[in-house]
Structures are given as structure tokens and as C-alpha cells.
């Protein structure tokens, strides 16, 4: 009989940290000298955009080859900086003056770096959340008060709050990612006690993630988010302001469509769906499943590979369904309920930060024209119906 191997025995293979999960550990803050103009521009985004000077400054940038960028962390910082500059360049004029062409001075290096990293040439969640942080006191704890983002957008501290709270939610869920290899070992070895322990860690970690999510109300103002920050997170797929997409000058002849940054690009929740065997329908028939699958292409390839390894590994759900241990089923259901509650909380946050501010603008003269995009997510989805759909299919997974 063939010996079963644990496909996830080494998390480092997937660029996953035991302490931080999918978060990039100790991101770099600076690039080698030739690339400092990118960093300077990205650091000054809020004032340049407020003064309507970013597009002019981009045109003054030197044309740079990416050949002197070395190692994963330099590439990640370059992708983050160029991603922020790209969002600022496209949306500097708000919805009244949207540029349809990204100049080659940014487009060419951005696309080359993206190709090396296996990411699309747009600011993704792995940029603005997972790689956009530093500690104020390097020896201090990873708490909101001891952290700062590397780059921000207009709207005061709104982007700092949004990105760092998202990061802390990731951090809270990291302890559950760490036990996934143990859970697989337990199934391979039919060890119910170790499996129960692992699943308890998953449910308590998801509960902690939900509690951490509450910080959003303290640090992110709904009106600032809706009226200012949101546009800088918006992409050019499913967006009526850029129906054809964005032209990447010097790279492609035709415009390309890419989704904006979205929580669906976080590997965390998709990882627990895969672990618990929660199906959101067929990718061919169901738009929620299709969108979640598409969002995997916006994750670092090693993280996407991890999700695929979890999904194709020993089935936790089938093992528990075939078990006569009622306690095991109960603990599994606790994990599912914790995931449902996290998704429910996300719905409440979306209502407060997008749906309610949108309805408050009903007297706006252009209401009919802009409503189509107002209640969409930054990833381009019909937000509430997407979130309710994945919440409901998660509920159905309870045993």
C-alpha cells in the first residue's frame, strides 16, 4: 500500500510564514538608488493627487530597466510602489477626468515586474495590504499603534486604517493557517484528537479575526472611504468609467481589463473554504464561484498553489462525515459557523461603508448615471449579492 504524504508539510515552500501567514515578513522600505524616483513619488501620492500634479510628475520619471531589481522583496516593493502610482495616475481626476492610457514610463516596468511575480499589472491586495506595512518600533509588537503603511492615498488616515486593519485580520487568522499541515497529518493518520485540536484552533482563530475586524469602525471613516479612498482601489474591469479597460502604452496594442483590489484576493478565507470543503457552486454556472476562482490569479502564485494543495489534499469534510464521532462533527460545525459569522460581519461593514453612503447620495443630480458603479465592489462585483451568496453557501456546509 502506498504511503500517504502530507502535501503541506513545509509551509515555507508556499512563501507562508508560521507567525504571519500570507503576510510578507519585514517588507523592504527602499529600493536601490536608480529606482528611488518611484519610491519618492509613491510616498508623496496624497499631496501630489490633491494638487493635481501626479500625472505631470509621472511624465518626468526616468525610463528604467528592471534588471537591477534583485530578489522577491525588492520586486514586491517595486510592484507596490508602481501599483499605487498607477491607481493615483488613473484616478487623479476622480470620476470626471479618467485617463485611459498608462504611459510607457510606468506601464513597461510595471508589466515586466508583474510578469516576474506572476501578478497582474494593477495594485492588488497582496500589495496594499500584505506588503504595505512597517513597525514604528521594530522591536515592538504588531499592533495598530506601532504600525504604519509604506504608502497611502488621499483622505487622511483612511487608507492607513483600511490597509492596516485588513492586515491585522490576516495576522489574527495566521495561527489557523499554521495548523493546516497538522490537520492533514491527523486525517492521514486517522488521529481524531489531533484533528479536533487543529479544528479548535481554526475556529478560535476565525473568531479572533472577526473581533479584530471591529477595529475598522475606529480607524476608517465611512464617508472618507466611500467618497475618497474607494476610487483608488477601483480597477478597470466591470467599471463603466473605463468600459474598454486601460491601455498599457508600449506593452499591448489594445486596452486590458483588470479587477481592483478586493478582499476576495485575500488567500485567508478561500483557504478555509478549501480546508472545510465548502463549495460555492460550479465555476461554470455560478458567478460567485467563478469570481472567487478568478481572484486567485490576483494572489502571489505560491499562495494560489497553497490553496490548490489544500483543496486537493485529504478531505476534512469527508473524513468527518464518515466518522461516528459526534464531538468531531460539532467542532467542524463550530469552524463553519465562525466562517459564517465573519462573512456576516463583512456584510455589515459593506452596508455601513458602501450601501448606506451610496443611498445618502440619492439626491445627487447624476444619481442614475453613477448608481451602477456605486454599489459595486472594488473588484467589480455586485457586492451585496456576491457576499450574501458566499455566506449562504457557507451556512449550508454545517453538518
Helix, strand, coil percentages, rounded to 5, for the chain: 60, 5, 35
Q: What DSSP state is assigned to residue 237?
A: S
Phi then psi for residue 244, to 5 deg, are -90, -10
Sort strands 134-135 and 247-248 into parallel, antiparallel or unpaired: unpaired
Which residues share a beta bridge with 135?
Answer: 147
CA pair distance 103, 90, nearest whole angstrom: 10
* Cell numbers describing residue 226: 466611500
CB 336 within 8 A of CB 329: no
Alpha carbon 227 to chain centroid, angstroms: 21
Has 346 been labeled as part of a binding site? yes
* Torsional class of 380: left (φ above 0), alpha (ψ -120 to 50), beta (otherwise): left
CA distance 334 to 63: 54
Instruction: Tell the residue number behind the cell numbers 531589481, with chain if given.
Output: 69
How far lies 229's CA from each of 67, 94, 162, 356, in Å?
33, 11, 9, 16
State the Cα–Cα distance between residues 349 and 343, nearest whole angstrom.
10
Q: Which of 151, 150, 149, 141 shows the shortest CA–CA distance to 165?
A: 149
C-alpha–C-alpha distance, residues 312 and 84, integer Å: 35
CA 249 to chain centre: 26
Pairing of strands 134-135, 147-148: antiparallel
The Cα–Cα gap between 214 and 345 comes to 9
Element holding 161 (H helix, E strand): helix 158-178
CB 300, CB 306: distance < 8 Å: no
Rounded distance between C-alpha atoms, residue 48 and residue 54, angstroms: 5
Annotated binding site for heme b: 346
Annotated binding site: 346
Amino acid at each position: 500500500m502506498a504511503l500517504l504524504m502530507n502535501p503541506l508539510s513545509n509551509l515555507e515552500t508556499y512563501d507562508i510564514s508560521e507567525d504571519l501567514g500570507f503576510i510578507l515578513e519585514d517588507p523592504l522600505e527602499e529600493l536601490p538608488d536608480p529606482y528611488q524616483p518611484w519610491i519618492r513619488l509613491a510616498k508623496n501620492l496624497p499631496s501630489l493627487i490633491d494638487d493635481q500634479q501626479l500625472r505631470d510628475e509621472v511624465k518626468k520619471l526616468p525610463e528604467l530597466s528592471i534588471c537591477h531589481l534583485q530578489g522577491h522583496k525588492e520586486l514586491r516593493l517595486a510592484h507596490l510602489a508602481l501599483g499605487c502610482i498607477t491607481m493615483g495616475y488613473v484616478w487623479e481626476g476622480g470620476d470626471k477626468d479618467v485617463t485611459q492610457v498608462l504611459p510607457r514610463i510606468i506601464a513597461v516596468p510595471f508589466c515586466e515586474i508583474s510578469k516576474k511575480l506572476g501578478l497582474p499589472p494593477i495594485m492588488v491586495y497582496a500589495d496594499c495590504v500584505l506588503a504595505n506595512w512597517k513597525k514604528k518600533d521594530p522591536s515592538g509588537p504588531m499592533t495598530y499603534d506601532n504600525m504604519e503603511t509604506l504608502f497611502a492615498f488621499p483622505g487622511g488616515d483612511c487608507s492607513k486604517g483600511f490597509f492596516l486593519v485588513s492586515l491585522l485580520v490576516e495576522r489574527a487568522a495566521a495561527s489557523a493557517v499554521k495548523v493546516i499541515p497538522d490537520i492533514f497529518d491527523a486525517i492521514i493518520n486517522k488521529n481524531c484528537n489531533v484533528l479536533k485540536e487543529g479544528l479548535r484552533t481554526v475556529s478560535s482563530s476565525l473568531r479572533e479575526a472577526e473581533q479584530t475586524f471591529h477595529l475598522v469602525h475606529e480607524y476608517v471613516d465611512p464617508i472618507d472611504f466611500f467618497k475618497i479612498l474607494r476610487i483608488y482601489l477601483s480597477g478597470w474591469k466591470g467599471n463603466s468609467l473605463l468600459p474598454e479597460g486601460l491601455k498599457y502604452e508600449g506593452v499591448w496594442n489594445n486596452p486590458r481589463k483588470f479587477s481592483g483590489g478586493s478582499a476576495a484576493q485575500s488567500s485567508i478565507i478561500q483557504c478555509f473554504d478549501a480546508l472545510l470543503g465548502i463549495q460555492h457552486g460550479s465555476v461554470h454556472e455560478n458567478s460567485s464561484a467563478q469570481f472567487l476562482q478568478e481572484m486567485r490569479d490576483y494572489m502571489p502564485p505560491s499562495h494560489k498553489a497553497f490553496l490548490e494543495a489544500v483543496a486537493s489534499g485529504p478531505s476534512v469534510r469527508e473524513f468527518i462525515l464518515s466518522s461516528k464521532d459526534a464531538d468531531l462533527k460539532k467542532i467542524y460545525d463550530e469552524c463553519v459557523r465562525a466562517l459564517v459569522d465573519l462573512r456576516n460581519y463583512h456584510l455589515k461593514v459593506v452596508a455601513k461603508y458602501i450601501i448606506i453612503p451610496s443611498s445618502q447620495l440619492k439626491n445627487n443630480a447624476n444619481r442614475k448615471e453613477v448608481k451602477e458603479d456605486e454599489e459595486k465592489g472594488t473588484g467589480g462585483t455586485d457586492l451585496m449579492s456576491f457576499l450574501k451568496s458566499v455566506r449562504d453557501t457557507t451556512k449550508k456546509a454545517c453538518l
